[in-house]
């Protein structure tokens, strides 16, 4: 007996019509700038450039 029944696949999320960007994080001090530069240098040692770029756009370079 064949139990295969094709069914319509539906996702549970809507696909965005345009790509959204997180706002750039403002650096508040020289300490933030130095930490950001240090984080980015470290990430570039082991992550692809597109990952690093996305992380910067999301403000992770300052928040970590």
The 3-state secondary structure of 18-60 reads CCCCCCCCCCCCHHHHHHHHHHHHHHHCCCCHHHHHHHHHCCH
Q: Domain limits of the chain? A: 30-63
Residue 61 confidence (pLDDT): 84
pTM of the model: 0.53
Whether pLDDT at 15 is above 60: no
Residue 48 confidence (pLDDT): 94
Residue 31 confidence (pLDDT): 83
Residue 54 confidence (pLDDT): 92
Cα 11 to chain centroid, rounded: 22
Whether pLDDT at 62 is above 90: no
Q: What is the pLDDT of residues 17-56, one digit of tens each?
A: 555 555 555 556 788 888 889 999 999 999 999 999 999 8
């Amino acid at each position: 007996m064949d139990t295969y029944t094709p069914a319509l696949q539906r996702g549970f999320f809507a696909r965005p019509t345009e790509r959204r960007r997180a706002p750039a994080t403002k650096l508040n001090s020289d300490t933030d700038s130095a930490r950001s530069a240090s984080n980015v240098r470290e990430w570039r040692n082991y992550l692809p450039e597109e990952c690093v770029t996305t992380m910067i756009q999301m403000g992770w370079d300052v928040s970590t």
